[in-house]
């Protein structure tokens, strides 16, 4: 579980972010490390509210857009207190597929020759989580599509 140590720390009250996406990345990293699910209760152009998906504990994070377009955590209720062992298969949840697409390639270069089993084996070694064959296949497909899209952009840049 080497990669878990490299994940972003828990967000703090008053912390600033450059965007709502940066804030979400931080919360996703923290939730993978601590093994809990969250949901977005509400989001618009000026604020976002995250809450625990599990009603067994009271956690809420609210962030607002500031005048300089930064995002500031304005409300943070309670610490995450649910028991990690009660949340198996966190990375199986569809909301974490984009997270996997960003993080697995940091530890495993995915090409057409990459076996799905290699992707399945990477997740528990790096993140302490098991992913299914279906999730690994989707991750491989999406990674290859991203690589192809990146190559298209690079070729277009060269041709211009």
Count the residues in the chain: 160
Of 111, 109, 52, 47, residue with least CA distance to 81: 52
Q: How far apart are CA 18 and CA 34, in angstroms?
A: 24
Report pLDDT digits (tens) over 62-83: 999 999 999 999 988 866 665 5
Nearest alpha carbon to residue 88 among 122, 131, 25: 131
CA atoms of 105 and 113, how far apart (whole Å): 14
Give residue-wise pLDDT tens across range 92-107.
666 677 788 788 888 8
Give pLDDT tens digits for 136-160: 888 888 888 776 665 554 444 444 4
The verdict on pTM exceeding 0.75 is no
Instruction: Give the pLDDT confidence score for residue 101 in this predicted structure.
Output: 78
pLDDT at res. 160: 44
Q: What's the CA gap between 158 and 160, in Å, rounded? A: 6
Q: Dihedrals φ, ψ of 125, to 5°?
A: -65, -40
């Amino acid at each position: 579980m080497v990669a878990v140590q490299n994940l972003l720390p828990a967000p703090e009250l008053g912390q600033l972010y450059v965007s709502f996406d940066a804030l979400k990345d931080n919360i996703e990293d923290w939730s993978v490390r601590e093994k809990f699910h969250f949901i977005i209760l509400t989001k618009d152009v000026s604020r976002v509210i995250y809450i625990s998906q599990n009603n067994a504990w009271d956690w809420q994070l609210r962030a607002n857009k500031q005048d300089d377009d930064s995002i500031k955590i304005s409300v943070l209720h309670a610490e995450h207190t649910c028991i990690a062992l009660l949340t198996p298969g966190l990375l199986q949840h569809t909301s974490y597929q984009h997270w996997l697409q960003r993080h697995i390639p940091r530890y495993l270069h995915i090409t057409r020759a990459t076996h799905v089993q290699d992707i399945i084996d990477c997740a528990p070694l790096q993140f302490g989580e098991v992913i299914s064959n279906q999730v690994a296949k989707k991750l491989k497909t999406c990674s290859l599509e991203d690589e192809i899209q990146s190559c298209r952009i690079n070729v277009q840049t060269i041709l211009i």
